[in-house]
Amino acid sequence: MITTSATYRSRTSTEPSPVDRVEPVIWGDPTGGPLTRDESTAYERDGLLVFEQLLDDGEVDRLGKDLQHLTRDPRLDGDDRVIREPDGRAVRSVFEVHRLSDAVADLATDPRLLDRAEQILGSAAYLHQTRVNFKPGFRGREFYWHSDFETWHMEDGMPQMRAVSVSVNLTPNLDCNGSLMIVPASHRTFVGCAGATPDEHFRASLRQQEYGTPSDEALARLVEAGGITQIQAPAGSAVFFDSNCMHGSNGNITPYPRNNVFLVYNSVENALVEPFGGTTPRPSYIAAREVHPLG
């Protein structure tokens, strides 16, 4: 089953009507892996699962030191994988981070993450995207509401909603420091967006997204139906969430940093094709076009 541009329409002159998801949520055996039946049921219903302190303090410390080093590495000055805040030089994100950090490379193949992801996907997985997001204290900027699949479908050519994101907390994620917010059950509705995608949109969108965001009315309908879950969990916790979940996060004006590693596992049976928005594919450090199974 391959979706087409007619199935999930977006980036049009007027806002398309929301459409129901056509793919499964759990592609594999709900009990044929580390996820319990109750966990599979919750993921099917809500599109997310939280595992508190999946990593121990030593593992978190190794990751944190590795990734903080990247923000000061002179070899990465001018590297396109390093995304800085729109109003300064502070590092907002680093992409393809599994190629820059041995600790992240090890994390990506850790059975605690990979086995759960492959159970959800029902196949072997590969890394579609990896990044670390830094939201420092006092001046960390927000990430506006969006569905990753909408972007991956339109700008990268991901055919189906057969990818799962895993966000690993490197610091405590609190109710006050810009922690991840997800709209439960939003993964069951595709919300198209108005506005044609400019050429090389990614250069601006990774700093501050303007296209591929829902209208106020569409977001309000999703929230009215599902509410908002704010992920508050200690360092070492992992959040698994569906590629089509509507999510975002507020800015951080507290003294407490909020840093997270994101690993996006895509099914090897869901390799990228030409972008459904008709644009030039984004660079491979943002969306891998070669399939290298993990396991």
Q: Do 146 and 213 form a contact (C-beta atoms < 8 A)?
A: yes
> Is the predicted pLDDT of residue 209 greater than 70, yes or no?
no
Q: Can you tell me the mean pLDDT for 242-251?
A: 97
Report yes or no on 287 lying in a domain.
no
- More confident site: 8 or 196: 8
Report yes or no on 42 lying in a domain.
no
Q: Can you tell me the mean pLDDT for 201-216?
A: 66
Percentage of the chain lying above the pLDDT 70 cut? 93
How high is the pLDDT of residue 193?
93
Give the residue among 197, 190, 189 at the shortest CA–CA distance from 154.
197
Report yes or no on 286 lying in a domain.
no
* Distance between CA atoms of residues 234 and 241, nearest Å: 17
Q: Name the domain count of the chain.
A: 1
Q: Can you tell me the mean pLDDT for 13-26?
A: 95
Q: Can you tell me the mean pLDDT for 218-246?
A: 98
> Is the predicted pLDDT of residue 211 greater than 70, yes or no?
no
> Is the predicted pLDDT of residue 204 greater than 90, yes or no?
no
How high is the pLDDT of residue 264?
98
Report yes or no on 6 lying in a domain.
no
> Is the predicted pLDDT of residue 19 greater than 90, yes or no?
yes
> Is the predicted pLDDT of residue 266 greater than 90, yes or no?
yes
Q: Can you tell me the mean pLDDT for 240-261?
A: 96
97 confidence band (pLDDT: 50, 70, 90) = very high
- More confident site: 256 or 71: 256
Give the residue among 120, 96, 93, 94 at the shortest CA–CA distance from 108.
96
How high is the pLDDT of residue 84?
85
> Is the predicted pLDDT of residue 197 greater than 80, yes or no?
no
Report yes or no on 43 lying in a domain.
no
Poorest-pLDDT segment among 150-154, 185-189, 208-212, 257-261: 208-212
How high is the pLDDT of residue 295?
77
Q: Do 50 and 169 form a contact (C-beta atoms < 8 A)?
A: no
Report yes or no on 155 lying in a domain.
yes
Q: Can you tell me the mean pLDDT for 27-37?
A: 95
> Is the predicted pLDDT of residue 4 greater than 50, yes or no?
yes
How high is the pLDDT of residue 33?
95
How high is the pLDDT of residue 208?
47
107: domain range?
Answer: 59-73+80-267
Predicted model pTM: 0.94
Q: Which CATH number do you get for residue 216?
A: 2.60.120.620
Report yes or no on 164 lying in a domain.
yes
Report yes or no on 37 lying in a domain.
no
